[in-house]
Amino acid sequence: MASLRGLYARVKDHMRRYKVLYTCLALFKHMLVAGPASAYRQARILLRQRLMRLVPWPNRQTVQEQQRARFDRKIKFSVLVPLYNTPEKYLREMIESVQAQTYENWELCLADGSDGAHGDVESVCRYYARRDSRIRYQKLEKNQGISANTNACIDMATGDYLALLDHDDLLHPSALFYVMQAICEQDADFVYTDEAHFHVKPKDADCPNFKPDFCPDTLRSYNYICHLSVFSRELLERAGGGFRSEYDGSQDYDLILRLTEQARHIAHVPRILYLWRVHAASTASGIEAKPYTLDAARRALAAHLERVGLRGEVRDARIPSTYDIRYAIEGQPLVSIVIPTKDHADDLRRCLDSIRQKSTWPNWEIILVENNSTEPETFRYYDSLQADSRIRVVTYQGAFNYPAINNLGARAARGDYLLLLNNDTEVITPDWIERMLMFAQRKDVGAAGCMLYYPDDTVQHAGVILGIGGVAGHSHKYYKRGDPGFMSRMAIAQNLSAVTAACMLIRRDVWEQVGGLDERFAVAFNDVDLCMRICKAGWRIVWTPFAELYHYESKSRGAENTPEKVKRFNSEVDLFHELWDRELEAGDPCYNPNLSLEREDFSLR
């Protein structure tokens, strides 16, 4: 029983970090409580079945169908693998994973920088090269580092597209097939796929990295693209050529940044097609294995910012191998904080006190939009605010309509930036405005949002995911404060499809161009609709965890528990589908189709 409890603890920890084992955990916990003699064996079978679903291997029929498939383009892939003292077992498995590809127009370019004590690397490679003409091998005179060794692979390559593969990792048998499919269907010159870790066998894969589509701010926070990356030779030339030795350790990050800057179309294949082997010397085992990668990554990011014309300081974030870019803010623009409010003077007092006492941004004003208050204490509090010239009260008359209230406040505001804020919030981080403003000021960004916690320090809002619950849901809801979230996504600035208007910063020119909040959405989904219109107009949405507030959610409005409110809510759901059904059908590009649309915790779909 002690061993069972230990296994349960390990499974629970895995679930907490990777959110992939809910079904098995629940079943195993049931068996543990019930205590059957076969619980341990049954639990292991369930766990194995669950994990094998992450990387489904093609059956014989699928292999034959993919081998017979014909595409409208003829593309040859050059798989680039720099070798250095590769263990024989790993080397053979890597080579055979390429040979097993169902798309057969490839070549494997092996550049070997191994030292004299590892002659078995050369003998193994020559063995395979003699038996398969698609395998090309070159013994380098000396090891020049991973960048120069990979560039030797590039020099050997004759393919139209280049694919990067580490010497101890594996490709899924269908990897090149699905990459080829994406190239032909989307005319992509850069393609990347999802990936997972494995220790011994690929079918034991865990830690799935289900990635979003291309999101530049997410990429600037960490190299989420990583494996498998495939790109055209022409794109490589436009991006300045191959790997650069000064970024050894994060040479792939530097290259991916350069490639994505120049790519005409970036395609993401949401399938686990790359298996990253975890062992003592691999980066996958932890950044501690190669600490020099962090410095190289920071320098690669700094060079990227300079190339794209952004001014900012690259710092390490709290999770190793993630980064916090502090963008320089131009000037001191006025930020107009628009706060709808009705009664609950204590909530409003807490909100305003936190703004006035904690905020480090000096140039702000507050527009309180009074909405049919009835309590005398509310108006006494308004009177007490008259001494602060930065705070004004405007009056909204009519039935509750959140967009109409905010639109009125926006018309009264004088700032170049509008910060929509609920009255039941409380500032935590003093630089909360700066942390959103540094993104909202960028011409490619339309709005920025922040991290909101419930009073018990669990997450209320870490961005919005389109499609959850049929319309939209909050990312990582109810996670504990400080948890890194799925693949560190609760700890990095990133692009999302929407953020909540409980705290949203938007430039006035963006607000005016999209027409503010749609007053047909009286209560629900008006902020999601606003963000959808912002994205449709060509801007991006950025969410940052570095601006933090408490949110004492919806106290002033009450629960959705009357027939009238239910009817209104359903009508807003119908309206959202009418306007955005195509986008809902396509799926959230900042999420992943393998992840749940029923839960808000990044568990498997």
Residue 53 is encoded by which pair of tokens? 């679903």
Task: Report whether pLDDT(20) > 50.
Answer: no
Summarised one tens digit per residue, pLDDT across range 405-441 is: 999 999 999 999 999 999 999 999 999 999 999 999 9
Rounded to the nearest 5°, which phi and psi values hold at 459? Answer: -75, 130
Summarised one tens digit per residue, pLDDT across range 225-260 is: 999 999 999 999 999 999 999 999 999 999 999 999
User: pLDDT category, 50, cuts 50, 70, 90?
Assistant: low
What residue has token string 């003292």?
A: 85
Q: Are both 242 and 372 inside the same structural domain? A: no
Q: Are both 40 and 110 inside the same structural domain? A: no
Q: How far apart are CA 194 and CA 269, in angstroms?
A: 7
Q: Are both 117 and 246 inside the same structural domain? A: yes
Render 75-114 in DSSP notation, one character per residue: --EEEEEEESS--HHHHHHHHHHHHT-SS--EEEEEEE--
Q: How far apart are CA 271 and CA 54, in angstroms?
A: 9
What is the reported pTM?
0.90
Q: Are both 44 and 84 inside the same structural domain? A: no
Amino acid identity at 470:
G
Mean per-residue pLDDT of the chain = 90
Q: Are both 277 and 183 inside the same structural domain? A: yes
Picking from 52, 73, 92, the residue at the C-terminal end of a domain is 52
Residue 178 structural domain: 63-282
Q: Are both 468 and 425 inside the same structural domain? A: yes
Q: Is 574 exposed, middle or buried (0-12, 13-18, 19+ CB in 10 A)?
A: exposed
pLDDT of residue 605: 83
401 or 32, higher pLDDT: 401
Of the ranges 332-346, 440-454, 520-534, 552-566, which one carries the lowest mean pLDDT score?
552-566
Residue 513 resides in a domain: yes
Residue 262 resides in a domain: yes
Q: Are both 389 and 531 inside the same structural domain? A: yes
Q: How far apart are CA 294 and CA 250, in angstroms?
A: 7
3 state DSSP class of 332: coil
Summarised one tens digit per residue, pLDDT across range 88-108 is: 999 999 999 999 999 999 999
Task: Report whether pLDDT(120) > 80.
Answer: yes
Residue 289 resides in a domain: no
Q: Are both 10 and 91 inside the same structural domain? A: no
Residue 295 resides in a domain: no
Residue 250 resides in a domain: yes
What residue has token string 């409980």?
A: 502
Q: Are both 252 and 356 inside the same structural domain? A: no
Q: Are 560 and 569 in contact (CB under 8 A)?
A: yes
Q: Are both 73 and 145 inside the same structural domain? A: yes
Q: Are 337 and 364 in contact (CB under 8 A)?
A: yes
Q: List all residues 6 or more positions away from 437 whose beta carbon is below 8 Å from its beta carbon.
A: 329, 333, 335, 361, 417, 448, 505
3 or 54, higher pLDDT: 54
pLDDT of residue 278: 86
Task: Report whether pLDDT(10) > 50.
Answer: no
Q: Are both 130 and 208 inside the same structural domain? A: yes
Residue 23 resides in a domain: yes
Domain total of the chain = 3
Q: Are both 392 and 441 inside the same structural domain? A: yes
Q: List all residues 6 or more positions away from 462 whose beta carbon is below 8 Å from its beta carbon.
A: 451, 452, 474, 475, 476, 477, 479, 485, 489, 490, 543, 545
The continuous run of DSSP H or E covering 252 comes out as: helix 251-262
Q: Is 384 exposed, middle or buried (0-12, 13-18, 19+ CB in 10 A)?
A: exposed
Residue 577 belongs to a domain with what CATH number? 3.90.550.10
